[in-house]
Chains A and B, each alone.
Chain A
């Protein structure tokens, strides 16, 4: 084992290398490109025995990934944002093929307006696709999660593809100390992919992904995905426990920080949750009983684990780095569904922050807490609140003035 400084992208590439991915269909997109560049470099240098093929789109990339996994090799790929959406049809399709493989998504806000910086609307658009989703908050977690994801995906009780998500820029280009496990240790944890009889072979013809007629067979196969997702909750517990035992690093489905005696719990996903974690420490110093809950697993949604941590609290402040326009935060609605009708369900206040990489400064967490506590005192959940400061609005007005001048200057 060696400990080195790695970006989140490099950590993802190391995960694929240690998992001995056989096949990497690729397509460049910022901020993911460094992952496929790293893998291509290793393959060219003979340090990694894999085949990397650049397709002409993410739609094709995901098709090739699914077809290769259906033929029985271990497949890795990576994308971001527009790329994930361009391939969206095939996310649903290959999940329906029940092929295990791992796709890293480096989160980036969606167009329009086009931007490079992160939020989770891209990966959450794939929420209902049948891919499992693991959301990472640190570079070590990225490397470990890619390896974990293969064990999870290839388990015969699951056999579904997995998205491992990390935030663009904040993780993709941030160097952190990362322990790179020994290949032999990873091999012991992750045996070679055995497709069993589900692979294309001349002696055993197989029809995959055929059409069905009528709602009965269709429902049956879609329900199978749901049941596999339910199995995945249990399998995740087993696999992450085995991982913790072998590597000494624990990656629970839901990470709880200073939650034991917390009256108010902040809930966030991804690397921005580290901002909330720092805020919890400062709030604790100020004598406020606050904790942080960070779901790592979004699909299957770890509802039971969330309930275990959250029932009996006074209130939750759910900070979504996404916006379901016309509704609000996705995580807030997921949690509301998990808690509704349960004794001791806390009041839920929903906040939207971090869109397109927008900063959430420490003082905003204080304000979030104030709003949440006052809602709890009233006993009435407030509508989703869009975080934006007067200063930001002033800066934007300046830009609008400039845009107006430009408009007026046209002949």
Chain B
């Protein structure tokens, strides 16, 4: 996004009014909540959050909610279908003149990676293919974190999880959800991370200006699941960007553009070392093959993209 197109030229332009309530049951240092706080400041209270089962289902526990707007918890697999029903109903009421335009709501799905990369894919694909006007927020903590960080379709190679505790760790590769969305030719798709607020704000701003299916895929550093001190959430998020592990990019007008390209990528090792889930790559002895493979994967990605 060019500077002319955005209201967010520097961090001084970021919203100063914070809309999401505090005191939620999320873990200390939750990178998902960090991103959601910022997104919600821009989204605002004229919104309906349709939630899929995950950590953030516990944001609204009867009778409390941190949201100033509306909320509907659905199930794990079908939050996009809930968004479909709500959006369609609002459109019907608007068309019939039974709902004044000022009573309309932005319909938003809030989901973790467990649902977004797996069980919820079919419902998500259907909603995109139908051109549903909705925002789809993923907090990607790279595992089934709410149940204790078992590996999911979003878990990166070699990570230790509650279901890959020994040896190499998780043997699979992280699925490319951004590419899956882009293959559907949505109205908008972006990756982001709470630790890069300006980049995040510009993407939310862009997503809120277009109609149709819109993805905001937030990497969510997870102190509990990734095993690091909660005070390092921002640092880990920045490292993910600076090492090139989490490319910040957006898809609009049929093109993928990288929005923040690290000039000189720091070694991936710095990102891995900072997290207990990768400690077995360094202790009790260094596993050069696995570390090199990680670096090679990241290098290959950046070699493959034009910027």
**Alpha-carbon separation in the docked complex, A68 to B99 (Å):** 14
Partner of B85, one of A65, A205, A210: A65
Partner of B88, one of A60, A68, A205: A68
Interface residues of A in 68-82 (CB under 8 A from B): 68-73, 75
**Alpha-carbon separation in the docked complex, A202 to B70 (Å):** 8
Given A63-B74, A90-B78, A211-B57: A202 and B105 within 8 A (CB)? yes
> What are 23 A-B pairs at a CB distance below 8 A?
A23-B89, A25-B81, A25-B88, A53-B130, A57-B122, A59-B77, A63-B81, A64-B81, A67-B50, A67-B86, A67-B89, A68-B86, A68-B88, A71-B86, A71-B90, A89-B77, A200-B48, A203-B103, A208-B70, A208-B73, A210-B71, A211-B61, A211-B73
Classify chain B: how many residues form its interface, as a range: 35 or more
Tell me, yes or no, whether A183 is within 8 Å of chain B by CB: no
Tally chain A residues at the interface, Cβ within 8 Å.
40
Task: With a 10 A CB-CB cut-off, give which of B67, B68, B92, B105 has the most chain A CB atoms.
Answer: B92
- Which residues of the partner chain A approach B60 to less than 8 Å between Cβ atoms? 207, 210-211
Closest approach, in angstroms, between the C-beta of A86 and any C-beta of chain B?
A: 10
Interface residues of A in 56-107 (CB under 8 A from B): 56-57, 59-61, 63-73, 75, 89-90, 93
Q: Are B86 and A60 in contact (CB under 8 A)?
A: no
Tell me, yes or no, whether B233 is within 8 Å of chain A by CB: no
Partner of B126, one of A22, A60, A209: A60
- Which residues of the partner chain A approach B91 to less than 8 Å between Cβ atoms? 51
Q: Are A67 and B90 in contact (CB under 8 A)?
A: no
Partner of B78, one of A59, A71, A205, A206: A59
Closest approach, in angstroms, between the C-beta of B66 and any C-beta of chain A?
A: 10
- Which residues of the partner chain B approach A23 to less than 8 Å between Cβ atoms? 85, 88-89, 92
- Proximity bits, A230-246, B CB within 8 Å = 1, else 0: 00000000000000000
Q: Are A60 and B92 in contact (CB under 8 A)?
A: no
Closest approach, in angstroms, between the C-beta of B86 and any C-beta of chain A?
A: 5
Tell me, yes or no, whether A213 is within 8 Å of chain B by CB: yes
Which 8 residue pairs are nearest across A and B when measured between Cβ atoms?
A67-B85, A60-B81, A64-B85, A56-B126, A71-B89, A68-B85, A63-B78, A68-B89
Interface residues of B in 36-64 (CB under 8 A from A): 45-46, 48, 50, 57-58, 60-62
**Alpha-carbon separation in the docked complex, A358 to B192 (Å):** 59
Q: Are B70 and A205 in contact (CB under 8 A)?
A: yes
**Alpha-carbon separation in the docked complex, A67 to B123 (Å):** 14
Closest approach, in angstroms, between the C-beta of B77 and any C-beta of chain A?
A: 6
Tell me, yes or no, whether B75 is within 8 Å of chain A by CB: yes
- Which residues of the partner chain B approach A208 to less than 8 Å between Cβ atoms? 70-73
6 additional A-B residue pairs with CB within 8 Å, beyond A23-B85, A55-B123, A68-B85: A56-B126, A63-B78, A64-B84, A66-B85, A90-B78, A206-B71
**Alpha-carbon separation in the docked complex, A192 to B73 (Å):** 27
**Alpha-carbon separation in the docked complex, A201 to B48 (Å):** 9
Tell me, yes or no, whether A212 is within 8 Å of chain B by CB: yes
**Alpha-carbon separation in the docked complex, A60 to B77 (Å):** 8
**Alpha-carbon separation in the docked complex, A75 to B85 (Å):** 10
Q: Are A200 and B84 in contact (CB under 8 A)?
A: no
- Which residues of the partner chain A approach B102 to less than 8 Å between Cβ atoms? 202-203
Tell me, yes or no, whether A362 is within 8 Å of chain B by CB: no
**Alpha-carbon separation in the docked complex, A60 to B84 (Å):** 9
Chain A residue with minimal CB distance to B72?
A208
**Alpha-carbon separation in the docked complex, A202 to B81 (Å):** 21
Tell me, yes or no, whether A344 is within 8 Å of chain B by CB: no
Q: Are B62 and A211 in contact (CB under 8 A)?
A: yes
Tell me, yes or no, whether A312 is within 8 Å of chain B by CB: no
- Proximity bits, B90-101, A CB within 8 Å = 1, else 0: 111100101100
- Which residues of the partner chain A approach B103 to less than 8 Å between Cβ atoms? 201-203
Tell me, yes or no, whether B223 is within 8 Å of chain A by CB: no
**Alpha-carbon separation in the docked complex, A55 to B87 (Å):** 14
Tell me, yes or no, whether A217 is within 8 Å of chain B by CB: yes
Q: Are B50 and A205 in contact (CB under 8 A)?
A: no
Q: Are A56 and B122 in contact (CB under 8 A)?
A: yes
Task: With a 10 A CB-CB cut-off, give which of A51, A69, A93, A207 has the most chain B CB atoms.
Answer: A207
**Alpha-carbon separation in the docked complex, A65 to B91 (Å):** 14
- Which residues of the partner chain A approach B99 to less than 8 Å between Cβ atoms? 201
Tell me, yes or no, whether B269 is within 8 Å of chain A by CB: no
